[in-house]
Amino acid sequence: MLVAPVRRRLLSHSSLRAMSIYVLPIDPAAPSRPAVPGLDPAKLWSSVPAAPKPPNAGTARVFYGVPAAGDASNVTALASLGDGFAAKRANEKRELVRKAVGGAVKHVRDIGEGVDGRLVSVDASADPHAAAVAAHLALYKFTLKTSPPSAFNPAAKDASPEKLAFKPLTDSNEWQTGVIYARAQNLARTLMELPANMITPTAFTERIKQEFAGVPNVEIIVRDAAWAAEKGMRTFLSVAKGTSEPPKFLEIHYKGAAKDAQPLVFVGKGITFDSGGISLKPSAGMKLMRGDMGGAATVCAAALAIAQLKLPVNLVVLTPLTENLPGPSANKPGDIVYAMNGKSVEIDNTDAEGRLVLSDALYYGSSTFKPHTIIDVATLTGAMDTALGEIYTGVFTNSDSLWSELDTAGKIEFDRFWRMPLEEDYGPQIYSSNADLCNTGGKPAGCCTAALFLKSFVDGVEPAADGAAPARRWAHIDIAGTMEATRPTPYQETGMTGRPTRALIEFVKRLGAH
Ligand SMILES: [Zn+2]
């Protein structure tokens, strides 16, 4: 009676152990030979009937029962690195590795529940960091469906396991950093995907505290509306008047450098739902506005990776968090509010609330912490989406060196930026109302007038009277276009992107290395 169940358990246990899954990027012109018995990628690849033109990078083929040694259920996914891989430049190569690994992982993922919980061995030798990034990004698929239980359910008591786990054929530090980069981006994606009833300002701060639990050299402070009122954050609080959800102002302090080393400040727009307020948005597509906290999500996620990597910088992250709803006390078009720095602001359109919450956060961040560099990230304007779509993220900055550093980081991670004009000549569009500033400047160059609006609240952003460089380097990053991907790539599904998390981490990594 006792024997049969024990044997059955042993059998299933041994078959689980024996089944192996391999993900192997392959340069069709020069296939490498990983040290896996019974696996010859070149031979496998040549067994597929040749097409008239070489396959694109990321094109994958799955082979079942390969390698033949061991278990018959072994699976090997080969993916092409594309034509002429060896001659490509470093940044291009990295992206080809991401496409190939991502393409192969997607195929394995799509095999179904039979592979759930399996360990996948990845040949990461072409670029361990990029391979780890692609594997973990490609695996990501947000869902709150209940069968099988979703790992994304914030109410779940036990974390359900990831569908697949990855390990490189040869472990390396670069692989480990890639895992941290990708997990950070996936966290930002999750925060953006989760609906607004689940990620309220309060829930956002709780989740961030959970994510940072046990990470050294980090202090997290959650400020409430009374604190913001005492600071004079009237433009921030004016937005919060329209909802009954309490606003929060989250501060993350990471100390990775000497105590007195001048910090870097990140500011992230944290509108957990943007209805537009009294200037109500059209209902079609409004659910996308659950992601209007993408700035807050990406700067917090980047900070988590920066702290986990123990990068040698001091970083302060500030995120004003609120909903923008048309409640009975909501801002009304034409209202005039005095911001924390004393400037008067006319609220001509209550849907231009992002710059209202950011203006106080930028002034608080720049005047209190006196950073060398301050960067805000925000899903700010539809005009940004119109200008650059979902390919490039727009950057407005007073500093050529900061632009060049962001540009480099974005190219390395293929999370790319494009420099936009920060130009006083757009000023008349926002300086001509009854207040110092108007929160809309009309349709032309809407992303440029938004950037110029924010500049008025960054302390130390102007050149000194003697022409010396400004005290602070500032960049405004508008992610309204890149917050969502409507077309998949080999390593990223459609949906909230979590961009530019990886570019920000890479920027800080290089900053710390100076
Ligand atoms: Zn809005």
pLDDT digits (tens, 9 = 90+) for 354-404: 999 999 999 999 999 999 999 999 999 999 999 999 999 999 999 999 999
Domain boundary among 136, 171, 206: 171
C-alpha 50 – ligand 1 centre gap (Å): 52
Which tokens is 469 given?
């460089």
- Cα dihedral 357/359/361/364 (nearest 10): -150
Domain boundary among 114, 141, 171: 171
C-alpha 383 – ligand 1 centre gap (Å): 12
Q: Nearest-5° angle of CA 174, CA 487, CA 80?
A: 50
Confidence grade of residue 254 (pLDDT, cut at 50, 70, 90) = very high
C-alpha 281 – ligand 1 centre gap (Å): 8
Which tokens is 67 given?
């390698």
Domain containing residue 105: 17-171
C-alpha 498 – ligand 1 centre gap (Å): 19
C-alpha 352 – ligand 1 centre gap (Å): 5
- Look at residue 1 and tell me if it is in a domain: no
Active-site residues, by number, are 281, 355
Q: Which residues surround ligand 1, an ion (CB under 5 A)?
A: 274, 351, 353
Domain boundary among 171, 199, 214: 171
In whole angstroms, what is the distance from residue 501 CA to residue 349 CA?
30
User: φ, ψ for residue 465 (rounded to 5)?
Assistant: -60, -35
Helix (H), strand (E), coil (C) string for 234-246 = HHHHHHHCCCCCC
Q: Does residue 167 share a domain with residue 184?
A: no
* Helix and strand numbers, DSSP H then E, in the chain: 14, 19
In whole angstroms, what is the distance from residue 35 CA to residue 313 CA?
40
Closest CA to 215 of 304, 87, 283: 304
CATH for 104:
3.40.220
CA distances (Å), 202 to each of 223, 270, 306, 321, 384, in order? 10, 11, 23, 8, 29
In whole angstroms, what is the distance from residue 191 CA to residue 496 CA?
9
The amino acid sitting at 357 is V
In whole angstroms, what is the distance from residue 304 CA to residue 311 CA?
11
Structural domain count, the chain: 2
Tell me the mean pLDDT in the region 48-52: 84
Confidence grade of residue 13 (pLDDT, cut at 50, 70, 90) = very low
Q: Does residue 289 share a domain with residue 140?
A: no
Q: Does residue 144 share a domain with residue 42?
A: yes
pLDDT digit string, tens, across residues 462-472:
988 888 889 99
C-alpha 382 – ligand 1 centre gap (Å): 9
pTM of the complete model beyond 0.85: yes
Dihedral sign, Cα of residue 246, residue 484, residue 419, residue 439: negative
